[in-house]
């Protein structure tokens, strides 16, 4: 191996280790790899090195058609939601929820079809409140609904080129790695559609039955939290040490164990407490405290409990205030941060009451909780301001929502714009430009407000793609892909040629379960083309094997954002995913290999 090959191979290994470690978010790891690549190029001799063609052009990956296409698809997804198209589809599903199997099938099928044309995380997020509400209405555990829906959203991405970032990457790399043009929008459909349909049947008929009964969340529970476990009413009796102190002084005294967020007037109305107000004997407050620590606080400070808490909770759910449960999603700025950041971003317009992880409230001081994907937050505050803050923080509210009613003309116009962009791209017009034109049309028609354009773009994914392109190109320019392909051929030379398709698919599946699937596609696609070249076979079936494998992240909740999103609301355990996901991946690998060979022959 040359110095260049050793350097880039070592970089890839370290990068994969950092992805698997999950200490830093994937976009940070990708930028670290990009900076390290340029540094290694300079150390190894600059112009004599093959790692970077021109250091000043290393950031051109952010303008790559694949990166721009991913961003455009995310924005188009938002426009389709704004127009009411998706909510109209959701409304039509309701009659099919009476029977348990049709309930699972209808929700999963809708999510799968939506995921073929829009961001799969967005498709799942739209249908998640619908699933939770219908689970309550039909008295069924949401556990049997959410995992099939999450897996269906991932399967749906296989069906078209725009269904998932790995497919967009594979389509672009085909033009760069071979003499053929990029894959078209529906080039993935023959294989991806049949694999997705087979996977959906497995999930609906058998997969959900593999979830252990002890993981099933109790049917009919509309709320993850029992609010009265966290909120209570206290009075200040004679001799209490709070008398004569201000509310602000008392909050410092009780530290993080109790929060005073409501002062009860004599007429029963609950008002926000004045931080400078002096506490007197007989004052009553609505407080938040963890049930584990509450009794100790009462004894320590000489407080007294009220017997009218249920009525007070109803008052707190008044016209202008209320409680909302919201999920921390993959794009939320809360990730890796604490309650302090939430307070600052919300301008103290809402109070964090509790956090739940994997269906269980966290029993520790809230100031110590570092938010993760899938955490469910119990929030209280003024409803209008809280709704805006939740949207700004990219949280997914789980409360019942009214479906948007889009006019026929508005829905028809949004679909026509999207269909026009797809039709234009099928004539040979650059797809990236066609989709950017669709975004512009949505803006001019008033379907897509300007404030939604950049909010909907998942910037960590964009940064990941832009930073990974030069790393992938270095992997190719140093001929590491050829070296690996020859090594694999030497080890598997006695195996039939078709088995190499299965091998590439399985290896890609394994990587996608532990690292980001877009990064997996960038590394595995050149290797797959190298294997095809070494064997003297067509590269397309190998690229399709990478595309299918990169979309199979079913073994862990961290393998895909959709898996993490349902962790709390569904009450799943870590092991529940592989119990369903491993048989599903076996089904996909078993069916995917002959399907690829049928539609994309080796010779």
Query: Tens digit of pLDDT for each residue in 38-88?
Result: 998 888 875 556 677 777 788 888 989 999 999 998 898 888 877 877 677
Structure confidence at residue 144 (pLDDT): 93
Superfamily of domain 227-316: Regulator of K+ conductance, C-terminal domain (3.30.70.1450)
Structure confidence at residue 516 (pLDDT): 83
CATH topology of domain 321-397: Alpha-Beta Plaits (3.30.70)
Higher pLDDT, 46 or 1: 1
Structure confidence at residue 457 (pLDDT): 83
CA-to-CA distance for 535 and 525, rounded, in angstroms? 16
pLDDT tens-digit profile of 350-379? 778 778 876 666 655 567 788 988 888 888
Which regions of the chain carry the CATH code 3.30.70.1450? 227-316, 321-397
Structure confidence at residue 382 (pLDDT): 77
pLDDT tens-digit profile of 397-424? 875 544 454 555 678 888 899 999 999 9
Q: Which of 6, 42, 4 is nearest to 477 (CA)?
A: 4
Rounded to 10 degrees, what is the CA torsion of 236, 293, 225, 112?
A: 140
Within 13 Å and on the Cβ side, how many CA atoms surround 536?
1
Contact present, 67 and 462 (Cβ < 8 Å): yes
Q: What's the pLDDT band for 454 if we cut at 50, 70, 90?
A: confident
Q: What's the pLDDT band for 310 if we cut at 50, 70, 90?
A: very low
Contact present, 233 and 284 (Cβ < 8 Å): yes
Structure confidence at residue 246 (pLDDT): 92
**Residue 260: phi, psi to the nearest 5?**
-90, 115
DSSP 422-468: HHHHHTTS-HHHHHHHHHHHHHHTTSS-HHHHHHSS-HHHHHHHHHH
End-to-end CA distance of the chain: 31
Q: What is the mean pLDDT of residues 326-335?
A: 84
Structure confidence at residue 588 (pLDDT): 96
Task: Report the predicted TM-score, pTM, of the whole model to 2 decimal places.
Answer: 0.79
DSSP 480-549: HHHHHHHHHHHHHTTS-THHHHHHHHHHHHHHHTTS-HHHHHHHHHHHHHHHHHHHT--SHHHHHHHHHH
pLDDT of 265 strictly over 50: yes
* CB atoms near residue 5 (< 10 Å): 18
């Amino acid at each position: 191996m040359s110095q260049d090959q050793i350097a880039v191979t070592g970089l890839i290994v370290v990068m994969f280790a950092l992805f698997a470690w999950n200490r830093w978010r994937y976009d940070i790891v990708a930028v670290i790899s990009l900076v390290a690549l340029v540094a290694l190029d300079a150390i190894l001799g600059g112009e004599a090195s093959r790692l970077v063609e021109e250091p000043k052009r290393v950031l051109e990956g952010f303008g790559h058609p694949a990166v721009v296409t991913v961003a455009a698809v995310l924005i188009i997804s938002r426009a389709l939601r704004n127009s009411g198209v998706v909510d109209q589809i959701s409304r039509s599903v309701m009659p099919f929820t009476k029977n348990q199997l049709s309930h699972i099938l209808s929700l999963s099928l809708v999510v799968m079809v939506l995921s073929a044309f829009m961001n799969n995380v967005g498709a799942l997020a739209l249908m998640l409140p619908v699933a939770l509400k219908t689970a309550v209405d039909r008295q069924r555990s949401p556990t049997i609904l959410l995992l099939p829906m999450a897996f269906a959203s991932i399967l749906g991405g296989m069906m078209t080129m725009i269904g998932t970032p790995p497919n967009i990457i594979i389509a672009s790399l085909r033009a760069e790695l071979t003499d053929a043009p990029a894959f078209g929008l529906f080039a993935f459909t023959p294989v991806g559609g049949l694999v997705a349909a087979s996977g959906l049947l497995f999930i609906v008929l058998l997969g959900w039955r593999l979830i252990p009964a002890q993981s099933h969340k109790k049917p009919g529970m509309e709320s993850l939290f029992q609010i009265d476990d966290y909120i209570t009413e206290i009075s200040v009796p004679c001799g209490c040490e709070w008398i004569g102190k201000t509310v602000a002084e008392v909050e410092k005294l009780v530290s993080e164990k109790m929060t005073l967020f409501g002062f009860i007037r004599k007429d029963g109305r609950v008002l926000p407490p004045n931080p400078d107000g002096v506490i007197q004997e007989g004052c009553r407050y609505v407080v938040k405290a963890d049930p584990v620590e509450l009794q100790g606080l009462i004894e320590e400070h000489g407080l007294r409990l009220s017997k009218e808490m249920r009525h007070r909770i109803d008052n707190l759910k008044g016209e202008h205030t209320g409680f909302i449960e919201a999920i921390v999603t993959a794009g939320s700025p809360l990730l890796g941060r604490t309650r302090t950041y939430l307070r600052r971003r919300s301008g103290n317009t809402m109070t964090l009451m509790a956090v739940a992880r994997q269906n269980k409230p966290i029993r520790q001081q809230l100031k110590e909780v570092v938010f993760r994907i899938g955490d469910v937050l119990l929030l209280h505050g003024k409803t209008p301001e809280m709704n805006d803050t939740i949207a700004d923080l990219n949280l997914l509210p789980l409360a019942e929502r009214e479906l948007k009613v889009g006019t026929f003309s508005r829905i028809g116009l949004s679909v026509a714009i999207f269909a026009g962009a797809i039709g234009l791209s099928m004539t040979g017009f650059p797809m990236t430009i066609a989709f950017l034109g669709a975004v512009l049309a949505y803006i001019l028609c008033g379907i897509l407000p300007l404030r939604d354009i950049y909010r909907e773009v998942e910037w960590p994914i964009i940064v990941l793609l832009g930073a990974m392109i030069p790393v992938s190109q270095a992997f190719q320019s140093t001929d590491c892909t050829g070296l690996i392909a020859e090594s694999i051929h030497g080890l598997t030379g006695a195996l039939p040629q078709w088995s190499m398709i299965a091998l590439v698919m399985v290896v890609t599946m394994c990587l996608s379960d532990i690292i980001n699937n877009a990064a997996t596609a960038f590394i595995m696609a050149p290797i797959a083309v190298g294997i095809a070249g070494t064997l003297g076979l067509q590269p397309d079936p190998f690229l399709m094997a990478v595309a299918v494998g990169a979309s199979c992240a079913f073994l862990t909740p961290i393998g895909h954002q959709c898996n993490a999103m349902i962790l709390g609301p569904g009450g799943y355990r870590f092991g529940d995913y592989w119990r369903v996901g491993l048989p599903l991946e076996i089904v996909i690998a078993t069916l995917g290999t002959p399907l690829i060979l049928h539609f994309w022959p080796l010779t």
